[in-house]
Amino acid sequence: MTSNGVPGRDAAPNRSAGSTGSDLAPEHIARQLKTRWLGRDYRFYSSLDSTNSKLSALATQGFAEGAVLLADEQHRGRGRLGRTWIAATGESLTFSILLKPTCAPAEMAPLALAVAVGVAVGIGEVVDLPLVLKWPNDLLCDGKKLAGILIETSGDGKNLRHLIVGVGINVNQSAFPEELGGQASSLRLATGKNQSRPEILLAVLRGLEKWIDLWRGLGSAPIIDAWLKYAPWVGEEIEVKTSTGIECGVAVGLNPTGALILEDGLGHRREIHSGDVTLIGSV
Ligand code: BTN
């Protein structure tokens, strides 16, 4: 997505009662949050450049694993593959989560799928929509993007210091800029009515905690099984833009590390570890 933002100063975080007027302020979220570790430290900003950037800067200051930082408005949000992410005040959910996994960076790939499943399950608890995951972790409805996830790591190739999981959910937008080419949607557009951002946030945090815990406890197998239930396009022809060009083929599934398996017309299979998928069919 593209940015519409004018850079501005970050508003101070708010953890005190009743002073921001936002339904996402801590006093509204904290007492309804049913998670064990995720979001127990919840920071709210009325405006930020990017929640990922802010949390990354704060991560070294003793924040606990599971800290959540949310901005009501984000004017320089970052997306995958160098894109930007628009989030005007009051319309979306834009937040980042601090994780401190102990595994090697190479074992992290299925976490991206676990996060996608957690977001889909959470949203699906609140709205009844045919949600689809596009590899690795875009959430779509009727072929249009409802939510995106950007995971950023800190550390060297062998040791992870921390990981920032950024989630952007289009909730109550009634229209999107033309430059998005009709490829974005919101829960409001998809359901025909405004949705409660606190309700979605609370459900998504519960979903994320559950699926991140499952990934930690049981590894990639249950995550991949759950992820595939949201991928009706597996078995169909797709296109993937990778760093080396465009690959076409039938999506066969995912390998245990979460890589996408593509099969060409001659039956040759290859694994894609990073790229941008275009679904050619109707999902
Ligand atoms: C994508 O390209 O699909 C990923 C979009 C991720 C956007 C979210 S919004 C909250 C967090 N902060 C950011 O700057 N980006 C992520």
Q: What tokens appear for 262 in the block?
A: 């593509």
Contacts of 181 (CB under 8 A, 6+ apart): none
Task: Report if pTM > 0.85.
Answer: yes
Q: Is residue 149 lining ligand 1, measured as CB closer than 6 Å?
A: yes
What mean pLDDT do residues 248-276 have?
96
Number of domains the chain is built from: 2
The reply to whether 187 and 260 lie within a common domain is no
pLDDT of residue 76: 94
Q: Is residue 46 lining ligand 1, measured as CB closer than 6 Å?
A: no
Q: Give the mutation target among 94, 134, 146 for probing the ligand 1 site: most ligand atoms within 8 A of CB.
A: 94
**What is the residue type of 165?**
V
Q: Which atom of ligand 1 is nearest to the CA of 148?
A: 3
Which CATH number characterizes residue 274's domain? 2.30.30.100
Cα 170 to the chain's mean position, in Å? Answer: 11
- Dist CA 114 CA 105 (whole Å): 15
The domain of 174 spans 15-228
Helix (H, G, I), strand (E, B) or coil at 103: coil
Query: What is the phi-psi region of residue 45: left when phi exceeds 0, alpha when psi lies from -120 to 50, beta otherwise?
Result: beta
Q: Is residue 5 lining ligand 1, measured as CB closer than 6 Å?
A: no
Total count of residues recorded for the chain: 283
What mean pLDDT do residues 65-90 have?
92
- Dist CA 39 CA 105 (whole Å): 24
pLDDT of residue 87: 86
Q: Is residue 170 lining ligand 1, measured as CB closer than 6 Å?
A: no
| Residue 281 and residue 237 in contact, taking contact as beta carbons nearer than 8 Å | yes
1 inside domain: no
Of the ranges 51-65, 176-190, 193-207, which is most confident?
193-207
**Positive or negative CA dihedral for 176, 112, 120, 139?**
positive
8 inside domain: no
Over the chain, what is the mean pLDDT? 90
Q: Give the mutation target among 52, 99, 151 for probing the ligand 1 site: most ligand atoms within 8 A of CB.
A: 52
Would the pLDDT of 148 be above 90?
A: yes
Would the pLDDT of 4 be above 70?
A: no
Q: Is residue 148 lining ligand 1, measured as CB closer than 6 Å?
A: yes
